[in-house]
Amino acid sequence: MKELEYFLADEAATIAIGAGLAQVLKSTAVQQALVVYLNGDLGAGKTTLTRGFVRGMGHQGNVKSPTYTLVEPYELANWRIFHFDLYRLADPEELEYMGIRDYFNDDCCCFIEWPEKGTGLLAKADIIINIAYQDEQRIIKLQAESTHGEQVMTALAD
Ligand code: ADP
Ligand code: MG
């Protein structure tokens, strides 16, 4: 599955997509890094989707937006998740200082809001997600950018 599109009627539907991605990763025998780029205007639901993913992966506490910290890490039993929000990134070099390259490992899932701010320093996306306003609701489009991304999306659509 290279492209998927869903209508998201409410916040719960946005969370469910994130939780669905978590379900797919957890049920796959081979652990493989997943890099997701999240595009969409402020308030579209990028953090909400990531919250669904992080909780779905088993994190029980808060999932707050890394607006000021740039990255929020979650250490789980078998996985590490890094949730980036690069909106306030002034200089891509800051990512070098953060040791960005160490974040892209096989036991890591990276969900990245505003990825265009880190062009050249981020791992390639497996899946690019676009969330757009549709009046008060949302439309989400997922696009596979790698074989792994395609496998994950095929399982998600099942
Ligand atoms: P972003 O990270 O893209 O800036 P947030 O996830 O922080 O956006 O905020 C999204 C806002 O929109 C939240 O207030 C959330 O409750 C709401 N929201 C999320 N998904 C939907 C949806 N499908 N329909 C309507 N409102 C939604
Ligand atoms: Mg956000």
- For residues 59 and 28, the model is more confident at 59
**Domain count along the chain:** 1
Domain that holds residue 106: 3-157
| Widest CA span in the chain | 41
- DSSP state letter for 117: G
Give percent of the chain with pLDDT exceeding 90: 80
Pocket lining: 145 vs ligand 1, CB cutoff 6 Å: no
Give the span between the Cα atoms of 52 and 35, in whole angstroms.
16
The reported pLDDT for the residue numbered 87 is 96
Taking only the tens place, the pLDDT of each residue in 110-138 is 999 999 999 999 999 999 999 999 999 99
Does 99 have pLDDT greater than 90?
no
pLDDT bracket for residue 32 (50, 70, 90): confident
Does any ligand 1 atom lie closer than 6 A to the CB of residue 47? yes
Match 């008060």 to its residue by tokens. 136
Q: What angle do CA 100, 36, 116 make, to 5 degrees?
A: 65
Please state, in angstroms and rounded to a whole number, the distance separating the CA atoms of residues 140 and 137: 10
Atom of ligand 1 nearest to the CA of 49: 6
- For residue 50 the two structure tokens come to 């990531």
Question: CATH number, domain at 60?
Answer: 3.40.50.300
Ligand nearest to the CA of 84: 2
